[in-house]
Amino acid sequence: MSLSRKTKKSRAFYYSLTVILLFVLVALFAPVIAPYDPLAINLDHIKEAPNTKHLLGTDTIGRDVLSRIIYGTRVSLFVGISATVLSLGLGLIVGLIAGYYEGKIDMFFTMIIDLFLAFPSLLLAIGISVILPPGLISVTFVLCLVGWASFARLFRGMVLSFKENTFVDSARAIGCSNLRIMFIHILPHCLPVSLIAASLKVGSFILSESALSFLGLGVQPPTPTWGAMVSLNRCYLPSAPWMVLFPGLAIALAVIAFNFFGDASRDMLGQDIKI
Amino acid sequence: MKYYFLKRIFLVIPTLIGITFISFLLLKALPGDPAQGLAGERTSPETIERLRQELGTDKPILFQYTGYMKLLLKGELGRSYYTNRSIADDIKEKLPNTLRLAVGAMIFSVITGLLLGILMALDPGSIWDRIGQVLSVSGISIPVFFLGLLLIYLFSFIFQIFPPSGMGNGSILFLIMPAATLGLNSSAYLARITRSSLIEILSQPYITTAKAKGVTKSGIIIRHALKNAFIPIITLIGLDFGSYLNGSVLTETIFGWDGIGRYAVEGIFKRDYPVILGCVLVGAVLFILVNLIVDLLYGFIDPRIRHRTKA
């Protein structure tokens, strides 16, 4: 890879990082940034096209679309990031145990991992969602349950190869416990890959969250979510496209940023992984 | 060869059992009595009593599970709360529509994905390559339901080329937009994998040999390189069938396509639990069968794979 291409890659890295940080700031300071209350109904200004007072227009009951998108950032980012952290943690632990111990323990965990990977993910998420009371915690839990297995498979494979290294033998020779070898010696080697896998996963979780919201299985109204904004206003697409286009673009932009970030950091670290 | 196929088929059985167990647990976790849950509210008390006996709701959980398995083996998925129709019959009726949509999506994604991938691999780092990369990341990142709505807005309302929804007695015009919506995501993945495997293969010595012999550029790509890139590409096409099942839930809803995805969504909106769980179970089984077929195809395509397992 030539130098100019490398800098281009790192440029993609910084651009996507900037966009992600912007989204995080918007989520954190939503009450300060949002020009209107996202729930405030104003029946004098319904279905207004984007104008100077309402930059992205208003919806069918006069709520400001921009403010609702800004507040919707909170749900998408919270679910995307916390589900990723939780499923990454679970996947790491299961992957470490399965890869380290081999034998029957490995077979048992591999069976469970394969089982979870055998379901089409959105279908499984729907199946679990319908039996839980809808809400922020449920969505996060469901996505974590659907997503941990791919992390576990990734880390199991990595641990299997790390274990052959001499540093593991030396650690054992000086009397380190299994737990110590697993978490102090092997785990740090998995961390760079975790970062890449995690940022790719945040994007896919944001997509799944928006799909669940679209189907009415996500965080419930009146809390604004991007997916529900697209879903509830979709019949107004011909007459008032701004109510649907802008929340949809918000989802796409957030997911693109995380995917680019994951790709760019993978290229920079020279790791070849798939999740 | 036979050994490889038999082994692969045999390995599916535990997964299938696991899947039915999870769907059984989901059924158990539903509010109310599972027999009631399977039968629906408009059923006569005798039917519920019969189901309760078959399920053995008063017996230990493993016993109940075997009862549930017996029902499944009979092809019984329960009845809809609302229409009281057999879910298995409903799914049988709607499945061909979903498969038609999935095949359409697959054709779309293979054609566009391969073309874009080849275009990108021809000259890595060029402007085409970079445009292709941006296109493929966008294709992976755009939500299926949003893409569908965008296409409807553009091609049905502004340009008025395609009908916005419905199936139109099998007319191809009605299939194009839903198939493109469903296929775009995997088309983007396919473009990436085609690009990366082609670039790797094009640096191999035998490609240099072919060039030295004077084979044309298109001849090299089509006859020498693509053939060897087929394994990762076919894996992806097969795996994407699962994402078609995911995506069909959303695509069918948006385009009013009468398949199992929309059937499941109607179940969600009406809280028709047996319908939802029936669709989840059938979807998972389909997904596993498709993966099995893909694995078996490997054995045909690449002799190294079927012989490796013997050792």
- For A3-18, how does the pLDDT look when each residue is reduced to its tens digit (9 = 90+)? 455 566 678 889 999 9
Tell me what the mean pLDDT of segment B248-272 comes to: 88
More confident residue, A208 or B62: A208
Tell me what the mean pLDDT of segment B159-181 comes to: 84
CA atoms of B295 and B304, how far apart (whole Å): 13
* Separation in Å, CA of B190 to nearest CA in chain A: 14
What is the reported pLDDT for B41?
Answer: 63
Would an 8 Å CB–CB cutoff place A220 in contact with chain B? no
Question: Does this complex have an ipTM over 0.90?
Answer: no
Would an 8 Å CB–CB cutoff place A33 in contact with chain B? no
Would an 8 Å CB–CB cutoff place B256 in contact with chain A? no
Pick the residue of A130, A150, A246 with the most B CBs within 10 A to test the interface with B by mutation.
A130
DSSP string, A28-68: HTHHHH-SS-TT---TTSTTPPS-SSSTT-B-TTS-BHHHH
Tell me: pLDDT of B219 over 60.
yes
CA atoms of A108 and A24, how far apart (whole Å): 39
DSSP H or E stretch at residue B174: helix B172-202
Q: Which residue of B has its CA nearest to A235?
A: B149
Q: Minimum mean pLDDT among A132-136, A141-145, B81-85, B272-276: which range?
A: B81-85
Taken in order of first residue, the domains within chain A and their CATH numbers are: 6-30+60-269 (1.10.3720.10)
Would an 8 Å CB–CB cutoff place B36 in contact with chain A? no
**Signed CA dihedral, B265, B266, B269, B274: sign only:** negative
CA atoms of B275 and B69, how far apart (whole Å): 17
Would an 8 Å CB–CB cutoff place A215 in contact with chain B? yes
Tell me: pLDDT of B82 over 80.
no
Of A114, A127, A234, the CB nearest to B276: A127
Residue B201: φ, ψ to 5°: -70, -35
pLDDT tens digits for range A149-190: 999 999 998 898 888 888 888 998 998 888 899 888 888 888
Pick the residue of A131, A141, A220, A235 with the most B CBs within 10 A to test the interface with B by mutation.
A131
Do B280 and A237 make contact, defined as CB atoms within 8 angstroms?
no
Q: Which residue of B has its CA nearest to A6?
A: B125
What is the reported pLDDT for A1?
Answer: 45
User: What pLDDT band is residue B22 in, cutting at 50, 70 and 90?
Assistant: confident
In chain B, % of residues over pLDDT 90 = 15
User: What pLDDT band is residue B310 in, cutting at 50, 70 and 90?
Assistant: very low
CA atoms of B194 and A118, how far apart (whole Å): 25
Residues of chain A with pLDDT under 70: 1-9, 270-275
Other CB atoms closer than 10 Å to residue B127's CB: what's the count? 8
Residue A96 one-letter amino acid? L
- Partners of residue B145 in chain A, C-beta under 8 Å: 210-211, 214, 227, 230-231
Cα dist from B210 to B207, B213, B223, whole Å: 5, 5, 10
User: What pLDDT band is residue B112 in, cutting at 50, 70 and 90?
Assistant: very high
CA atoms of B28 and B273, how far apart (whole Å): 11
User: What pLDDT band is residue B311 in, cutting at 50, 70 and 90?
Assistant: very low
Mean pLDDT of the residues in chain A: 88
Would an 8 Å CB–CB cutoff place B25 in contact with chain A? no
